[in-house]
Amino acid sequence: MSTPAQTFERFSVSPSRRRKDRIARGAVVAATVVALIPLVLIVYYLLSKGLGSWSPSFFTTDPTGNTFFAASSIGGIKSAILGTIEIVAIASVLAVPLGLGVAVWLVEYGRSSRFAHTVRFFVDVLTGVPSIMFGLFIYIALIVGTGTSYAAYKGAFALALLMLPVVTRSAEVVLLLVPGSLRESALALGAPRWKVIFRIVLPTALPGLLTGVLLAIARAAGETAPLLFTAGVTMKTEFKLNGFMNSLPIQIYTDVTSPTTAVVNRAWGAALTLVVMILLLNLFARLLARRSSLG
């Protein structure tokens, strides 16, 4: 009936359709590029400014108070690295099991009960609380309230509070993704519920849970505000949990306001160190997750 020309016309892409396609594609590509610009710049500045201050002694010496003299005398960031590791580790030990526990309860037991909804609401509220509020809360409760001084463990408490809702919320989402059919078939095998959770649900969700936990740790490791008036500011490497303790964000915060170029550069070096530490943690956890999910 129709000539070849008509058929060609019927099935060929119209010019306006082609144009719309180009515009839409151009828009999403442009959005991606725009979003990448700050990311690339951050990495570029971190590397170009931070790498310059890196040296073996940068990681093995404590910062000194001599910030107005030669670069060689200002010291490194050893106490800040160790302090961050210590404070964040304590915060994680507190917040991760607790947060995962809350998420497991919400998904496996609480479900849509009224109490579960209340818990979810408060977790959401906590997620949105500015980080300085957690510092303030600990400051009022544990420092003003007890009439004592700054301490590392108080900073860890503040970070734990900050991490708790992040861990809970991300874990809840991941646990909800575990298909109900897996729980059902495990229950139908005659498994008690706690075993279903520990042997089936949690292993299945492990990679996602790890990602959420890592995000929370990364967030906590980079927080300055909750530590400012809980863990205090110090130069020395300290291991005492109820004494002042340095940390990378605090080091960056104090260094970057210095008039001395060498000290500002130390802030860049510390920032790069923090980013690399979080990156390594990420890689390590991913490796761990991959191995466990195959084995």
The answer to the question of residue 188 lying near other proteins (CB under 8 A) is yes
Site for other proteins in 113-132 (CB under 8 A): none
Q: Name the nearest CA neighbour of 282 among 227, 240, 221, 204.
A: 221
The answer to the question of residue 21 lying near other proteins (CB under 8 A) is no
Closer to other proteins by Cβ: residue 190 or 259: 190
The answer to the question of residue 196 lying near other proteins (CB under 8 A) is yes
Please say whether the beta carbons of 173 and 211 come within 8 A: no
| Minimum distance from residue 196 beta carbon to other proteins (Å) | 7
Closer to other proteins by Cβ: residue 170 or 204: 204
| Single residue of 185, 276, 284, 287 touching other proteins by CB under 8 A | 185
Binding mask of the shown chain, residues 70 to 109, with x at each position contacting other proteins by CB under 8 A: ----------------------------------------
The answer to the question of residue 293 lying near other proteins (CB under 8 A) is yes
| Minimum distance from residue 2 beta carbon to other proteins (Å) | 40
At residue 261, what is the residue type?
Answer: T
The answer to the question of residue 187 lying near other proteins (CB under 8 A) is yes
The answer to the question of residue 189 lying near other proteins (CB under 8 A) is yes
| Single residue of 25, 111, 117, 236 touching other proteins by CB under 8 A | 111
Grouping H, G, I as helix, E, B as strand and the rest as coil, residue 148 is coil
- 219 token code pair: 């967030």
| Minimum distance from residue 47 beta carbon to other proteins (Å) | 38
Distance CA 113, CA 100 (A): 19
Q: Is 113 left (phi over 0), alpha (psi -120 to 50) or beta?
A: beta
For every residue of 21-81, which 3-state class applies, written as one string? HHHHHHHHHHHHHHHHHHHHHHHHHHHHHHHHHCCHHHHHCCECCCCCCCHHHCECCHHHH
Q: Name the nearest CA neighbour of 246 among 163, 150, 118, 182.
A: 150
DSSP 8-state secondary structure symbol assigned to residue 111: T
The answer to the question of residue 1 lying near other proteins (CB under 8 A) is no
The answer to the question of residue 176 lying near other proteins (CB under 8 A) is no
Q: What is the CA radius of gyration of the chain?
A: 26
Which residue ranges make up the site for other proteins (CB under 8 A)? 111-112, 179, 181-192, 195-196, 199-200, 203-204, 206, 293-294
